[in-house]
């Protein structure tokens, strides 16, 4: 009981010692953060491609992807521009259910998520295979809006929002780390909000 009350308190008066990572402000809104424009995607030609250091490349169409086991997850969302939306219900496919189709070579350490529109972001294999990572096609009970990454986005709750790639269309398995779109431009390679891994110059 006490614990529950504490939780409510923490949500209503966000401070440094609550559920919110340092330097973040809680918002009930869900702002849209996109570099460039929203790509036009046709579900009839939508493709999801797995390539790089894998024993076999695979390509899934929309029907095949959405036929994978269903998952639903409540998770926080922390943007590096300092807003956090603590309540999000995502529906889609767990990353680890997609992983069951993939045989990465033994030396794989990182994965690059690729997107329609050219965006990309890198994630360590142990981070992306965490239980709370999923590919989402719905948010808070509604089909995922185009602006929020519909038809399909990656969701990585334990990393800043830029790692939650919208309009995801592929995974590249890699034997070393490589920066993605924002990481090339100064964002941190890991992006853990609890460690405030925002930009390169904060590495040290
Ligand atoms: N393809 C793509 N994915 C993206 C982005 C983007 O510009 N393009 N922006 C990232 C950033 S910086 C954030 S904070 C989140 C924001 O998601 P939202 O627009 O649904 O709030 O998406 C991330 N995924
Ligand atoms: Mo962001």
The predicted-structure confidence for 142-190, as pLDDT tens digits, reads as follows 999 999 999 999 999 999 999 999 999 999 999 999 999 999 999 999 9
* CA dihedral angle for residue 106, residue 104, residue 177, residue 183, rounded to 10 degrees: -170
Ligand nearest to the CA of 181: 1
* CB distance 115 to ligand 1 below 6 Å: yes
- In this predicted structure, what is the pLDDT of residue 95? 98
CA distance 182 to 92: 25
Which pLDDT band, with edges at 50, 70 and 90, does 200 fall under? confident
Question: Is pLDDT at 2 greater than 50 in this prediction?
Answer: no
Q: Which helix (H) or strand (E) holds 6?
A: helix 2-12
* CB distance 92 to ligand 1 below 6 Å: no
For residue 62, the CA-to-ligand 2 centroid distance in Å is 27
Three-state secondary-structure class, residue 96: helix
Closest residue to atom 10 of ligand 1, CA basis: 162
Q: Of 151, 38, 19, which is closest to residue 85 (Cα–Cα)?
A: 19
* CB distance 33 to ligand 1 below 6 Å: yes
- Over residues 62-115, the pLDDT tens digits come to 999 999 999 999 999 999 999 999 999 999 999 999 999 999 999 999 999 999
Closest residue to atom 1 of ligand 1, CA basis: 166
- In this predicted structure, what is the pLDDT of residue 18? 64
The percent of residues in the chain predicted with pLDDT above 90, rounded, is 88
Question: Is pLDDT at 12 greater than 70 in this prediction?
Answer: no
Strand partners, 134: 94, 155
Note the pTM of the prediction, 2 decimals: 0.91
Q: Which residues, 6 or more positions from 125, have their beta carbon under 8 angstroms from its beta carbon?
A: 104, 108, 109, 110, 111
- In this predicted structure, what is the pLDDT of residue 5? 39
Which pLDDT band, with edges at 50, 70 and 90, does 9 fall under? very low
Atom of ligand 1 nearest to the CA of 33: 19
Closest residue to atom 14 of ligand 1, CA basis: 161
Ligand nearest to the CA of 183: 1
Which pLDDT band, with edges at 50, 70 and 90, does 1 fall under? very low
Q: Which two tokens stand for residue 9?
A: 């308190």
Which pLDDT band, with edges at 50, 70 and 90, does 8 fall under? very low
CA distance 114 to 180: 9
């Amino acid at each position: 009981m006490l614990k529950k009350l504490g939780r409510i308190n923490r949500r209503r008066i966000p401070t440094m010692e609550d559920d919110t990572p340092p330097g973040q402000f809680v918002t009930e809104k869900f702002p849209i953060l996109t570099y460039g424009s929203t790509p036009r995607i046709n579900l009839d030609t939508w493709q999801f491609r797995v390539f790089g250091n894998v024993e076999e490349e695979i390509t899934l169409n929309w029907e095949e992807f959405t036929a994978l086991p269903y998952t639903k997850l409540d998770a926080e969302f922390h943007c590096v521009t300092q807003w956090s939306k603590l309540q999000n219900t995502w529906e889609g496919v767990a990353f680890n259910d997609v992983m069951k189709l993939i045989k990465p070579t033994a030396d794989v350490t990182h994965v690059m998520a690729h997107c329609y529109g050219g965006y990309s972001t890198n994630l360590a294999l142990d981070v992306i295979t965490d239980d709370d990572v999923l590919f989402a096609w719905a948010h808070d009970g509604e089909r995922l809006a185009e602006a929020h990454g519909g038809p399909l986005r990656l969701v990585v709750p334990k990393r800043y929002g830029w790692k939650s790639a919208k309009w995801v269309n592929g995974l590249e398995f890699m034997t070393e780390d490589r920066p993605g779109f924002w990481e090339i431009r100064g964002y941190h390679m890991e992006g853990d909000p609890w460690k405030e891994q925002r930009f390169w110059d904060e590495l040290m």
